Amino acid sequence: MNSSSNFCSFRRSALFGWAVFINFVCFQKLDNQTYMQSVLSYHKITSRVDFGICTRTPKDFRKDVEFIAALPSEKRPIVSFDDGYTDTYEAAFPILSEYGLTGQVFVITDAIGKPNSWDANFFGEFQHIELSQVRELAQAGWEIGSHTKTHRALTVLSLSALREELETSKWFLEDAIGQPVTSISFPFGKFNEQVLQVCREVGYERAISISRRSQDGFVERSLAVYRFDRRAHLKAKLNKNKLELWRLQTINAFSTLTVLMHHINSFNRG
C-alpha cells in the first residue's frame, strides 16, 4: 500500500471519527410534529462494510420507511437516491414497494452498469445501477432524474462542458425510459447562476442540492440521511431544525472535501 492510499485511509478514518463525534454533540430530541414536506437524500442502502458515512443498512432504511409511510401524505418526504447504485434497485426498491411508496433516483449516466470509480475502499467497489433496472424503476412509478453525465462539480466547468453534463445525461435517460426527465440533483450540491441558467435552457424544471436552496425556488435543499442518523435525527430533518441543518451542512462540507481530494489524487496518479 503506497503513502497516498495510506493518507486516503487516514482521511476516511478521520472523517468517520469526526462524524461519530458531531453526531453525539448535536444530538437533540426534537419532535414537535410540524413536519414540512422535504426531500430525504440517501446514497447506498447496504449491509456491506464501508468507511463512508453515506451508507445506510437495509435494516435502518426499513425503519425510516416504516416511519415515513405512517405520516400523513401531505407531510411525507420524497425519498430520493443520489448516484444510482444497484442497491437502490436491489434493496431500497423492494422495501419502499412493500409500504406502497415510490422514490426518485438521480443517475450518473456515464456510470450506468459500472463499478464506482471514486469511492472504492478496502472492501471492494460499489456497482452502479444497470439501465434495465432504471427502466424498471421508471415503469414502477419512480421518478428518474439526472445526476449529470460524469459527476463532476458543475461550478468549475467551462460552458460547453457544463452543457454537455446537463444535456447529454437528460437526453440519454429520456431515450432509455421513454419519458421526459425534468429533475436534476447537483453533484456535491454545487451550483451557481450559470448552472441554473443552462439547466433552464436545456429543459430542467426542478433541481435538488444537498447544500442549499436557490432564492427563486428552482433548487430545493435535500436533506441527506447518514449512517449514524437515528429516528430523532430524521424527525429533526423533517422539522427543518436549525441545528440539524447546520450538522448536515458541516458533514457535507467535509465529505465534499474528501471526495474532491480523492478525485485530485486519482487524477495525479493518472
> Is 119 a residue that touches Zn ion (CB under 5 A)?
no
CB of 186 to Zn ion, least distance (A): 9
Q: How far is the CB of 69 from Zn ion (least distance, A)?
A: 26
Closest CB 34 distance from Zn ion, rounded Å: 30
Q: How far is the CB of 66 from Zn ion (least distance, A)?
A: 26
User: Shortest distance, CB of residue 22 to Zn ion, whole angstroms?
Assistant: 21
Q: Which is nearer to Zn ion, 77 or 187 (CB)?
A: 187
Tell me whether residue 38 or residue 116 sits nearer to Zn ion (CB atom): 116
Rank residues 153 and 236 by Cβ distance to Zn ion and give the closer one: 153
Closer CB to Zn ion, 185 or 239, in the complex:
185
> Closest CB to Zn ion among 104 and 239?
104
Q: What is the 3-state secondary structure (H, E, C) of the chain?
A: CCHHHHHHHHHHHHHHHHHHHHHHHHCCCCCCCCCCCCEEEECEECCCCCCCCCEECHHHHHHHHHHHHCCCHHHCCEEEEEECEHHHHHHHHHHHHHCCCCCEEEECHHHCCCECCCCCECCECCEECCHHHHHHHHHCCCEEEECCCCCCCHHHCCHHHHHHHHHHHHHHHHHHHCCCCCEEECHHHCCCHHHHHHHHHHCCCEEEECCCCCCCCCEEECEECCCCCCHHHHHHHHCCCHHHHHHHHHHHHHHHHHHHHHHHHHHHHC
Give the separation between CA 127 and CA 145, rounded to whole angstroms.
Answer: 18
Q: At what angle do helices 231-238 and 58-69 cross, to 10 degrees?
A: 50
Stretch touching Zn ion by CB under 5 A, among 76-84, 166-174, 202-210, 256-264: 76-84
Mark residues 176-215: x for contact with Zn ion by CB under 5 A, - for none: -----------x----------------------------
In the region spanning residues 99 to 118, those forming contacts with Zn ion, defined by CB under 5 A, are none
Residue 165 contacts Zn ion per CB under 5 A = no
Span from 25-33, 61-69, 78-86, 156-164 in contact with Zn ion (CB under 5 A):
78-86
Q: 83, 119, 167, 220: which one contacts Zn ion (CB under 5 A)?
A: 83
**Which residue is associated with the grid cell 419532535?**
31
Residue 256: which region, alpha, beta or left (left: phi > 0; alpha: psi -120 to 50)? alpha
Q: How far is the CB of 151 from Zn ion (least distance, A)?
A: 6
Note whether 220 binds Zn ion by CB under 5 A.
Answer: no
Looking at 50, 60, 64, 82, which residue binds Zn ion (CB under 5 A)? Answer: 82
Residues that bind Zn ion (CB under 5 A): 82-83, 187
